């Protein structure tokens, strides 16, 4: 089925008014509103400069000022779920609310002021169908960003037009800044102030990009976005899990997720990658040996994201981090004796020099499947050594990822129920290995050198080290 993407140029007024039929939603997986003073002033002064230039035009054709694109899709609740552009659209709501607050403060309003009050109202709130009366509690944008007190603050500002001068959140600070900037403009030139409102509402434009699904919207966003931080699958997964949890456990989940994220950073990993490793564990449990690897979001979304709702998921992700704390931080972990076993640490460090990541998947599957069993330390060391030998032998003969992909997937399945799985990918004659090891593929050199060094010492090599050549690489 071909994806449908709608792109239409709209004025700010047209864009925001579309929220009457489909409310704008800043979803749970988005990051908190982060615009600060610099971005807020830039938006205001850019619009002001555009207004000043337009008022000087000698011809009748009006120009437009492009504010960028807004990427969204209609979610199952009929809301416009914002994938990209939340900073801009939120700031525009705050700016128009600041303008509206000032206009309604005048006792004797001019015809122009009354006109713009009427134009702004349907861009901020829902109105009664027959009377047009404004319902100030029905704002056209809602933020549900996880663990963010600013969600209520944004709602309160748009409802009341009041922000706490002592507040430190970006919503309050930027709203107050917009008020000050607009107040200064009113004092400077009441006429220019009216022109500013007109051009902001009607001649500042955006390109709303609407898609059929979240996946399509995220794909469009990834294609367009070459700045800032793209949304991660982990952000999406966090929101799905958060929404599924009972209210009384939500704070605990946020705490656990925060701890996981911080530990991942400490271990020089990221949460998205943990989900990727975990996917191979789940595939092994489900006895899936297909060589085609689905994308993360597609894999976890199957069956209505049920794989994300298992009670032990966060525990397993944290367990996976044990491996990377040991390898990347070179630290032991309390109550986990294997993390102090120098033989295990050396073989893990040796495997880390393998030319691709295929070794990681069976190691993760083995650790999650047997890490809490008695005598794990002994079994784990034996497993790692066998895995190392098999991977090295196969790469010596066929130096490519594809050469062992199918065998790795079958091994993963075997590992789940077997603490001593058989590791034998291909029957390679010893004579061939003896010949190949004399001139190994250059990608394998570092791992072989580690193997040789660790056969004679327990001290780990530095994280960064260079190879010194005894003979010149090029002979004259």
**Over the stretch 438-452, which tens digit does the pLDDT of each residue have?**
777 777 888 888 888
Q: Quick one: pLDDT at residue 471?
A: 55
> Looking at the structure, do residues 155 and 176 belong to the same domain, yes or no?
yes
Give residue 3's pLDDT band: very low, low, confident or very high (50, 70, 90): low
pLDDT single digits (tens) 204-239: 999 999 888 877 777 776 666 544 455 678 988 998
Give residue 472's pLDDT band: very low, low, confident or very high (50, 70, 90): low
Give residue 352's pLDDT band: very low, low, confident or very high (50, 70, 90): very high
Q: Quick one: pLDDT at residue 228?
A: 45
Mean pLDDT of 460-465: 79
> Is residue 92 domain-resident?
yes
> Is residue 96 domain-resident?
yes
* Spatial separation of the C-alpha atoms in residues 204 and 10, rounded to whole Å: 8
Neighbours of 376 (CB within 10 A): 18
Residue 1 has pLDDT above 50, yes or no: no
CA distances from 288 to 31, 53, 291, 296, 370 (A): 34, 63, 9, 15, 19
Q: Give Cβ neighbours of residue 231 (< 8 Å, ≥ 6 apart).
A: 29, 30, 83, 218, 221
Among 224, 243, 270, residue at a domain's last position: 224
Pairing assessment for the beta strands 65-74 and 204-211 based on DSSP bridges: parallel
> Looking at the structure, do residues 244 and 109 belong to the same domain, yes or no?
no
> Looking at the structure, do residues 217 and 247 belong to the same domain, yes or no?
no
pLDDT single digits (tens) 46-89: 999 999 999 988 777 788 999 999 999 999 899 999 988 999 99
> Is residue 466 domain-resident?
no
Mean pLDDT of 190-201: 97
> Looking at the structure, do residues 12 and 37 belong to the same domain, yes or no?
yes
Is the CB of residue 268 less than 8 Å from the CB of residue 230?
no
CA distances from 309 to 81, 85, 90, 275, 326 (A): 23, 29, 31, 13, 28
> Is residue 472 domain-resident?
no
Least confident range from 105-114, 188-197, 389-398, 402-411: namely 389-398
> Is residue 138 domain-resident?
yes
> Looking at the structure, do residues 217 and 288 belong to the same domain, yes or no?
no
Q: Which domain holds residue 202?
A: 5-224
Mean pLDDT of 32-54: 95
> Is residue 473 domain-resident?
no
* Spatial separation of the C-alpha atoms in residues 352 and 165, rounded to whole Å: 53
Mean pLDDT of 105-121: 96
Q: Quick one: pLDDT at residue 404?
A: 86
> Looking at the structure, do residues 60 and 205 belong to the same domain, yes or no?
yes
Pairing assessment for the beta strands 141-143 and 5-7 based on DSSP bridges: unpaired
The b/e string for 72-85 (b: 16+ C-beta within 10 A; e otherwise) is: bbeeeeebbbbbbb
Q: Quick one: pLDDT at residue 2?
A: 46
Number of H helices, E strands in the chain: 19, 9
Q: Quick one: pLDDT at residue 225?
A: 54
Q: Quick one: pLDDT at residue 469?
A: 62
Q: Quick one: pLDDT at residue 31?
A: 84
> Looking at the structure, do residues 238 and 307 belong to the same domain, yes or no?
yes
Residue 277 has pLDDT above 60, yes or no: yes
> Looking at the structure, do residues 281 and 430 belong to the same domain, yes or no?
yes
Coil vs helix vs strand at 379:
helix
* Spatial separation of the C-alpha atoms in residues 17 and 119, rounded to whole Å: 10
Among 224, 256, 286, residue at a domain's last position: 224
Give residue 474's pLDDT band: very low, low, confident or very high (50, 70, 90): low
> Looking at the structure, do residues 159 and 292 belong to the same domain, yes or no?
no
* Spatial separation of the C-alpha atoms in residues 402 and 419, rounded to whole Å: 26
Is the CB of residue 169 less than 8 Å from the CB of residue 149?
yes
> Looking at the structure, do residues 339 and 366 belong to the same domain, yes or no?
yes
- Number of domains into which the chain is organized: 2
Q: Quick one: pLDDT at residue 179?
A: 98
Residue 196 has pLDDT above 70, yes or no: yes
The residue count for the chain: 476
Residue 299 has pLDDT above 70, yes or no: yes
Phi, psi (deg, nearest 5) at residue 197: -65, -45
Least confident range from 51-65, 87-101, 172-186, 305-319: namely 51-65
Among 193, 224, 255, residue at a domain's last position: 224
> Looking at the structure, do residues 260 and 382 belong to the same domain, yes or no?
yes
> Is residue 476 domain-resident?
no
Mean pLDDT of 116-132: 95
Mean pLDDT of 289-313: 92
Closest of 230, 388, 242 to residue 308, by C-alpha: 242
Is the CB of residue 330 less than 8 Å from the CB of residue 460?
yes
* 336: its two tokens: 């986990």
> Is residue 11 domain-resident?
yes
Q: Quick one: pLDDT at residue 231?
A: 66
* Spatial separation of the C-alpha atoms in residues 161 and 159, rounded to whole Å: 6
Q: Quick one: pLDDT at residue 470?
A: 58
Give residue 276's pLDDT band: very low, low, confident or very high (50, 70, 90): very high
Give residue 279's pLDDT band: very low, low, confident or very high (50, 70, 90): very high
Maximum C-alpha span of the chain: 98
> Looking at the structure, do residues 266 and 200 belong to the same domain, yes or no?
no
Coil vs helix vs strand at 81:
strand
């Amino acid at each position: 089925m071909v994806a449908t993407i709608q792109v239409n140029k709209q004025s700010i007024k047209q864009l925001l008014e579309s929220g009457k039929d489909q409310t704008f939603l800043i979803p749970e997986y988005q990051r908190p509103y982060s615009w600060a003073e610099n971005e807020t002033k830039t938006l205001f002064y850019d619009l002001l400069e555009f207004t000043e230039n337009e008022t000087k035009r000698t011809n009748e054709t009006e120009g437009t000022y492009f504010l960028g694109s807004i990427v969204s899709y209609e979610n199952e609740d009929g809301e416009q779920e914002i994938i990209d552009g939340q900073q801009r659209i939120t700031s525009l709501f705050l700016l128009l609310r600041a303008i509206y607050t000032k206009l309604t403060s005048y006792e004797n309003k001019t015809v122009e002021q009354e006109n713009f009050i009427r134009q702004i109202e349907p861009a901020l709130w829902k109105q009664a169908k027959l009377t047009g009366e404004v319902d100030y509690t029905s704002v056209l944008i809602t933020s549900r960003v996880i663990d963010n007190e600013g969600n209520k603050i944004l709602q309160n500002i748009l409802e009341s037009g009041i922000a706490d001068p002592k507040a430190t959140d970006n919503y309050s600070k930027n709203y107050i800044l917009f008020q000050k900037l607009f107040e200064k403009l009113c004092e400077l030139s009441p006429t220019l102030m009216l022109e500013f409102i007109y051009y902001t509402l009607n001649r500042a434009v955006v390109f709303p990009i609407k898609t059929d699904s979240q996946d399509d919207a995220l794909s469009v966003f990834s294609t367009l976005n070459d700045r800032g931080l793209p949304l991660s699958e982990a952000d999406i997964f966090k929101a799905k899990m958060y929404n599924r949890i009972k209210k009384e456990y939500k704070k605990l989940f946020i705490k656990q997720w925060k701890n996981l994220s911080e530990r991942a950073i400490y271990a020089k990993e990221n949460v998205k990658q943990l989900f990727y490793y975990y996917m191979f564990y789940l595939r092994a449990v489900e006895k899936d040996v297909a060589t085609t690897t689905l994308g993360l979001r597609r894999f976890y979304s199957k069956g209505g994201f049920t794989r994300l709702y298992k009670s032990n998921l966060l525990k397993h992700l944290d367990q996976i981090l044990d491996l990377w704390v040991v390898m990347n931080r070179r630290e032991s972990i309390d109550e986990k004796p294997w993390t102090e076993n120098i033989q295990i640490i050396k073989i893990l460090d040796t495997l880390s020099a393998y030319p691709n990541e295929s070794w990681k998947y069976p190691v993760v599957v083995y650790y999650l499947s047997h890490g809490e069993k008695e005598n794990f330390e002994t079994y784990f060391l034996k497993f790692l050594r066998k895995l190392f030998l098999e991977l090295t032998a196969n790469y010596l003969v066929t130096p490519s990822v594809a050469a062992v992909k199918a065998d790795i997937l079958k091994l993963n399945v075997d590992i789940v129920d077997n603490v001593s799985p058989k590791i034998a990918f291909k029957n390679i004659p010893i004579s061939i290995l003896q010949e190949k090891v004399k001139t190994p593929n250059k990608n394998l050199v570092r791992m072989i050198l580690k193997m040789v060094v660790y056969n004679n010492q327990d001290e780990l090599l530095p994280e960064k080290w260079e190879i010194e050549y005894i003979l010149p690489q090029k002979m004259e």
